[in-house]
Amino acid sequence: MGVFAWVAWYAFRRHTAYPLASLAEAVTNTVFGFLRAYVLTALWAARPHLGGYDATDAVTFTFLTQALIGPVQIFGGLELSRRIRTGDVAIDLYRPAGLQAWWLADDLGRAAGSLVLRGGLPLAAGFLAFDLRAPGPAGLAACVPSFALAIVTGFALRYLVALGAFWLHDDRGLASVALVLSLFLSGMIVPLVVFPGPAGDVARALPWSALVQVPAEVFLGKRTGAGLASALAFQAAWAAALLAAGALATRRARRRLVIHGG
Amino acid sequence: MIEVTGAAKAFAVRRRTGRLRRSRTVVHAVRDLGFTVPRGAFVGLLGPNGAGKSTTIKMLTGILAPSAGTVRVCGLDPSRQRTALARRIGVVFGQRTTLWWDLPLRDSLDLARRLYRVEGRAHRARLAELTDLLELAPFLDTPVRQLSLGQRMRGDLAAALLHAPELLILDEPTIGLDVVSRATVRGFLERLNTERGTTVLLTTHDLGDIERLCPRVLIIDHGRLAFDGDLDRLRAEVGGERLLVVELARPGPPLRLPGVAVDRVEGPRQWLRLPEGESAAAVIARLAAGHEVRDIALRETGIDEVVARLYRGDRAYRAQ
């Protein structure tokens, strides 16, 4: 195994080191799932077939996206930004391994741990309380690459925000902006199909929709055949573009680097 | 092992000078720095806070590229050949850790092994040796967050040395450590240098480290090399003076003795500064002849005082 596989493995171990904390997060995600589900149920009762979804789609969408909060880390944040602020990034920059690849591996391990500990409960509770739409074996198989690409795209975005700390010395402003964009444009607040006309088209073309909206559509079985291929290609293209931007920003950052805190 | 010629590092700092206006000033962290460290040496790097020590270390490890001059470590250009260099040197930043906070120390050491591609058998032998020398056994399986600072530092040293580097660079490795931990770390570094022949460059504010470990000292001040030599020369160059503490029978005015300055008077006690070359015996004889003396103590200038004087710039000093 290469070093990055080990980094991912130890990150997985690290992020599953506190199962009780993860359980608490999963419970929170589940409770909010119920709140969102009831709001959307009311919305779909008033406007059935809104955006081409029925009420079951909407509620399934809700619990699935609640389960994805942890793995995709929709609320943003990457430990790297704190390390840049305190100067601990010196350790990362000195290592004989690429900065971005190291943190991607770390994040994949974290996401896997989060999927295991935080993904199950919201979905299980949703299936028990509501009549959710479950994908068949082919649908589940399609979810695997789609979720993986959602996680990678999410990382690539958060990595760029974190690197902002090299220029801004503090990434909190940037992180707040990123949070709002991420919540609204990923489909986390309401499915993007609800956004009307051109606004919806724009939202669906932006990278954030690769985090939640697209994987949810794959889960709901709304993307099959060529639709599935285009969904995965869309996610892969954004992941590649954002990772490339991250690689470029890393090179720039190395050149103009100031290590904080001596 | 290390060759630094005319190295400089400048940072642009933006400062707010008006509501919207900002001015750009250039801060020279290091300027025209030059020194060499031969293979097998143990060299101490000293300097007041903000003198440019950490910047120097970051240039040596390839984290920062020098704005001018050349830096060579193990024959490599650190900023261009960082990865190749990192496999040949070990670095410990005393105030930062390479260990994974939530995992047992053993896991961090295993990851270090994967990072530096140490082959299995060599790793086991090396780990056993380091475990023994650094007394890691009692906490190898403890999560790093539960380690004391001294234990963590020993863990960090082990992580930096698993790949048997030729050069070890230490940035304040004994900061915050208690006397016992400090002694363990010092003893270990000494053995590493003498028995294994590892070249060591150590920055510290703890002059005990320097006295115990470093035959040669480099002092950086204001980004420049202010001194390069051994401790005895440093003492001689900066302050060969000694201090004579005299306790008289009664308090009185400052003593008047030819060639001797009174540094301080506290009741019956007086501190006299003996210039270089002045015989203490002669001064004491003269003193006893004219005064009733109750007690006398002679103090060599401590290394702390020597360095403090150097930092304050009490006397003109220059690089060799």
- B212 with B116, same domain: the answer is yes
Q: Are residues B109 and B245 in the same domain?
A: no
Helix axes B120-133, B149-161, angle to 10 degrees: 150
Q: Are residues B57 and B206 in the same domain?
A: yes
Burial class (CB in 10 A: 0-12, 13-18, 19+), A80: buried
Residues B160 and B117 in one domain: yes
Do B204 and B70 lie in a common domain?
A: yes
Q: From B92, which residue of chain A is nearest by alpha-carbon distance?
A: A91
Query: What is the three-state SS of chain B?
Result: CEEEEEEEEEEEEEEECCCCCEEEEEEEEEEEEEEEECCCCEEEEECCCCCCHHHHHHHHCCCCCCCEEEEEECCECCCCCHHHHHCCEEEEECCCCCCCCCCEHHHHHHHHHHHCCCCHHHHHHHHHHHHHHCCCHHHCCCEHHHCCHHHHHHHHHHHHHCCCCCEEEEECCCCCCCHHHHHHHHHHHHHHHHHHCCEEEEECCCHHHHHHHCCEEEEEECCEEEEEECHHHHHHHHCCCEEEEEEECCCCCCCCECCEEEEEEECCEEEEEECCCCCHHHHHHHHHHHCCEEEEEEEECCHHHHHHHHHHCCCCCCCC
Same domain, B210 and B147: yes
Instruction: Name residue, tokens 């880390």.
Output: A73
pTM, entire model: 0.86
Distance CA B213, CA B320 (A): 21
How many folded domains does chain A comprise? 1
- Together in a domain, B282 and B218: no
Quick one: how far is CA A7 from the chain centroid?
A: 20
CB atoms within 10 A of CB B278: 19
Interatomic CA distance for residues B156 and A143, integer angstroms: 41
C-alpha–C-alpha distance, residues B143 and A111, integer Å: 21
Domain boundary among B189, B217, B236: B236
Two structure tokens written together for B245? 């503490």
Burial of B81 (0-12, 13-18, 19+ CB in 10 A): middle
Q: Shortest Cα distance from B12 to chain A (angstroms)?
A: 9
Within a domain: residue A133? yes
Name every chain A residue with its beta carbon within 8 A of the beta carbon of B84: 96
Give a yes or no: residue B132 inside a domain. yes
Q: Which parts of A172-225 fold into alpha helices (H)?
A: 172-186, 197-205, 213-219
Same domain as B218, residue B270: no
What is the model's pLDDT at position A259?
Answer: 59
The position carrying tokens 């892969």 is A236
**What is the phi-psi region of residue B6: left when phi exceeds 0, alpha when psi lies from -120 to 50, beta otherwise?**
left
In this structure, the answer to whether residues B128 and B180 fall within a common structural domain is yes
Residue in chain A nearest B117 by alpha carbon:
A3
Q: Using CB atoms, which residue from B83, B98, B101 is nearest to A96?
A: B83
Tokens of B100: 């994974």
Question: CB distance B110–A6 less than 8 Å?
Answer: yes
Nearest CA to A59 out of A37, A43, A31, A33 is that of A37
Q: Which residues of chain B make contact with A88, given a CB cutoff of 8 A?
A: 96
**B12 & B128 share domain:** yes
Paired strand residues for B271: B245, B264
> What integer pLDDT is reported at residue A186 of this predicted model?
93
For residue A162, the number of C-alpha atoms closer than 13 Å in the C-beta half-sphere is 24
Residue A17 and residue B93: Cβ atoms within 8 Å?
no
A258: chain B residues, CB-CB within 8 Å: 11
Q: How far is Cα A205 from Cα A111, in angstroms, rounded to an integer? A: 24
Q: What is the DSSP pairing of strand B2-16 with strand B22-37?
A: antiparallel
Tokens of A229: 């291929």
Chain B residues within an 8 Å CB radius of A8: none
Q: Give the nearest chain A residue to B109 (CA atoms).
A: A10
Sheet with B261-266, side-by-side order of all strands:
B261-266, B269-274, B242-248, B293-300
Q: Is A19 on the interface with B (CB under 8 A)?
A: no
User: Which residues of chain B are within 8 Å of residue A7 when distances are taken between CB atoms?
Assistant: 111
CA distance B25 to B103: 43
Cβ separation of B107 and A88 shorter than 8 Å? no
Domain count, chain B: 2
Q: What is the model's pLDDT at position A258? A: 59
- Residue A260 falls inside a structural domain: no
- Rounded to whole angstroms, how far apart are CA atoms A53 and A58? 6
Reported as half-sphere exposure (CB side, CA atoms, 13 A), residue B43 has a value of 22
Q: Which two tokens stand for residue A258?
A: 């100031």
B63 with A94: Cβ contact below 8 A:
yes
Does the CB of A87 have a partner CB in chain B at under 8 Å?
yes
User: CATH code at B227?
Assistant: 3.40.50.300
A6 in B contact zone (CB under 8 Å) = yes
Asked if A18 lies within 8 A of B102 by C-beta distance, the reply is yes
Look at residue A261 and tell me if it is in a domain: no
**Interface probe, candidates B114, B168, B205, chain A, greatest A C-beta count within 10 A:** B114
Query: Which chain A residue is nearest to residue B9, measuring alpha carbons?
Result: A258
Residue A24 resides in a domain: yes
* pLDDT of the residue at B320: 37
pLDDT of residue B313: 65
- In this structure, the answer to whether residues B254 and B182 fall within a common structural domain is no
Q: Measure in Å the smallest separation between the Cα of A94 and chain B Cα atoms.
A: 6
Among chain B residues, the shortest Cα distance to A4 is held by: B115
> Are residue B171 and residue B116 in the same domain, yes or no?
yes
Cβ distance A261 to B111 less than 8 Å, yes or no, reads: no
Low-confidence ranges of chain B (pLDDT < 70): 238-240, 302-303, 313-320
The answer to whether residue A262 is domain-embedded is: no
Residues of B in contact with A95 (CB under 8 A): 86, 115
Contact B92, B23 (CB under 8 A): no
Q: How far apart are CA B88 and CA B73, in angstroms?
A: 10
Cα B197–B199–B200 angle (5° rounding)? 125
Q: Which residues contact B147 (CB under 8 A, 6 or more apart)?
A: B105, B139, B155
Print the domain residue range for A85. Answer: 3-255
The single-letter DSSP state of residue A4 is: H
Residue B314 is assigned to a structural domain of this protein: no
Q: What is the ipTM of this complex?
A: 0.84
> How far away is chain A from the Cα of B126, in angstroms, using its nearest Cα?
19
Nearest-angstrom CA–CA distance, A219 and A142: 8
- The residue segments making up the domain with residue B88 are 2-236
Q: Which residues of chain A have pLDDT under 50?
A: none
**Closest alpha carbon to A150 in A78, A229, A232, A247:** A232
